[in-house]
Amino acid sequence: MQTSPTNPGHANSWYAASANDKRVRPELEGETEADVCVIGAGFTGISAALELAENGFSVVVLEGERVGFGASGRNGGQIVNGYSRDLEVIARRYGPDKAVKLGEMSLEGGEIIRRRVATYGIRCDLVDGGFFAAFTDKQVKEMAHVKANWEKHGHTGLEMVAKADVGKYVKSDRYVGGMIDRLGGHIHPLNLVLGEAAAAEGLGVRIFEKSRVTGLDMGLNPVVKTAKGRVKAKYVLVCGNAYLGSMLPKITDRMMPVSSQVMATEPLDAKLIEDLLPANYCVEDANYVLDYYRRTADNRLLYGGGIGYGGHDPANLTGVIRPNMLKTFPQLKGARIDFAWSGNFALTLTRIPHMGRLSENVYFSHGDSGHGVTTTHLLGKILGEAVAGHAGRFDVWASLPALPFPGGRTFRVPLTVLGAWWYGLRDKLGV
Ligand SMILES: Cc1cc2nc3c(=O)[nH]c(=O)nc-3n(C[C@H](O)[C@H](O)[C@H](O)COP(=O)(O)OP(=O)(O)OC[C@H]3O[C@@H](n4cnc5c(N)ncnc54)[C@H](O)[C@@H]3O)c2cc1C
């Protein structure tokens, strides 16, 4: 990973360069105590910490690198509602009751973000509105089907967009239609997580950076260990997601790190970027390996896509993403690329987040499978609720089966690549 020259310890992203808060937090040294120790300062961990602090718990957060170092500080910034699998698939797999319960929570992540931004005055360039772009009539039909089903669960923000109206949202001739989500939107994700971390600190949460957890003693009084310190806590929340490594194989064998790549152009002429994305909605297409893009507050085009199973970075990041950007917007042939970076999200076999207990007082949540900006906020809150003794929603999630990847650690990557190749081929052929 190339690190940011102006914000060391972060990937060299536009986000790191434009972060509101570049302050470095101390490393944990010696022993301390707290009601709850949270491992990982991404959206999940910070969302849990903030929820707990708002409810009077003392919290220590241990982050191996910097707050927002992982996916939360590097993603496309798209507020996408729902989960990586549609509620209809959830109903088919786990029964209608589970679909109803997950449906009730499916808009809450976006609401939590908006509430916190307003309550704590977080400056993260929040903009409302998202557009799902379809390449084929089949994808349009699928979107209409998803819309009808989602509306049964109370989503009122969706609207189909005919081909003639696509230009209101994106000026590209690649699409035959799409769907807008007025409850979607976009943010500067690193500034969001930094703002939430600062809000948590304002309520007494202690956050330590460069404090990677190397050991965890479970039991009645769990102890969390780093190279130079230890935290004694009543509860531990494991929120390391794709960066957890192999510390807890019981749960990490049920997820796979997957990389996605993002780049940001130079600031574009205001008229040009307004012409490309007139409504300032974020856009993601409907392919299996999808492209996602949006405007930034300083008029760059931030364009993401690509995929690396196992979490490997391609050698030439721009070489992967720029050709896709030019297929969408040939007008940008001459635009300079100022930043290109990569980050890892955690994929589960079911594409549904994996949440549960490692012991009576050690809980975990990970595996938002590429759509995690909203879900992590929801699940972090639910982790906090469970610690506070309200485990009803936690138990709904924890009851969903989490399967290990076929092929174990050695063959899970090639087998998943094979599956993705098949779906990617279908997208290319438009079938
Ligand atoms: C390039 C990219 C683009 C994406 N775009 C979008 C998007 O536009 N919309 C969307 O909804 N989702 C998107 N996602 C997914 C979304 O970003 C993630 O689902 C979400 O940020 C995961 O948050 P998290 O807190 O669970 O994990 P992370 O943000 O990865 O945080 C985990 C943290 O734990 C720390 N950690 C790990 N192990 C340890 C340890 N042992 N000790 C201490 N600390 C530890 C890590 O350093 C890291 O900071 C994208 C993901 C990527 C990678």
Model pLDDT, residue 315: 81
Candidate from 187, 231, 373 with most ligand 1 atoms within 8 A of CB, to mutate: 373
pTM of the model: 0.95
- Beta strand 30-39 pairing with 223-226: unpaired
pLDDT at residue 314, rounded to an integer? 81
Residue 205: pLDDT over 70 = yes
- Residues with Cβ within 8 Å of 96's Cβ and at least 6 positions away in sequence, in order, are none
Q: How far away, in angstroms, is 376 Cα from ligand 1 center? A: 9
Q: Give pLDDT tens digits for 352-396.
A: 999 999 999 999 999 998 899 999 999 999 999 999 999 999 999
Instruction: For residues 133-137, give the mean pLDDT.
Output: 97
* Distance separating alpha carbons of residues 343 and 345, to the nearest angstrom: 7
Question: SS3 of 392, please?
Answer: helix
CA 166–ligand 1 middle distance (angstroms) = 31
Beta bridge mates, 127: 186
Atom in ligand 1 nearest the alpha carbon of residue 243: 37
| Ligand 1 atom with the shortest distance to the CA of 343 | 53
The ligand 1 atom nearest the CA atom of 44: 25
Cβ-Cβ contacts under 8 Å for 22 (sequence gap 6 or more): 6, 7
The preferred substitution site among 368, 374, 375 for testing ligand 1, maximizing ligand atoms within 8 Å of CB, is: 368
- Cα(43) to ligand 1 centroid in Å equals 7
CA–centroid distance, 344 to ligand 1, in Å, is 7
Counting from 1 in the atom list of ligand 1, the atom nearest the Cα of 45 is 25
Ligand 1 geometric centre to CA of 9 (Å): 15
How much distance in Å is there from the Cα of 44 to the middle of ligand 1? 8
Q: Which two tokens stand for residue 44?
A: 């999940």
Q: What is the mean pLDDT of the chain?
A: 93
Q: Which atom of ligand 1 is nearest to the CA of 65?
A: 47
Regarding predicted confidence, which is higher, 264 or 1? 264
Q: Which residues line ligand 1 (CB under 6 A)?
A: 39-45, 62-65, 69-72, 74-78, 80, 212-213, 239-244, 247, 260, 262, 292, 304, 343-345, 366, 368, 370-373, 376
Nearest-CA residue for atom 41 of ligand 1:
213
Domains and CATH numbers, the chain: 126-186+257-345 (3.30.9.10)
Structure tokens belonging to residue 311: 């979490």
Segment 87-128, tens digit of pLDDT: 888 999 999 999 999 999 999 999 999 999 999 999 999 999
- Please give the Cα distance from 256 to 362 (Å, whole number): 21
Cα 42 to ligand 1 centroid, rounded to whole Å: 6
Ligand 1 center from residue 379 Cα (angstroms)? 13
Structure tokens at 295: 């405007």
Q: What is the DSSP string of 264-330?
A: EEPPPPHHHHHHHSTT--EEEESSSS--EEEE-TTS-EEEEEEEEETSPPPS-HHHHHHHHHHHH-G
Q: Is the torsion defined by CA of 143, 145, 151, 152 positive or negative?
A: negative
Residue nearest to atom 14 of ligand 1 (CA): 370
Provide the pLDDT confidence category of residue 411 given band limits of 50, 70 and 90.
low
pLDDT, position 306: 84
Stretch 404-412: mean pLDDT: 65
Residue 239 Cα to ligand 1 midpoint, Å, equals: 9
Q: 241 C-alpha to center of ligand 1: Å?
A: 6
To test ligand 1's pocket by mutation, which of 85, 263, 345 has the most ligand atoms within 8 angstroms of CB?
345
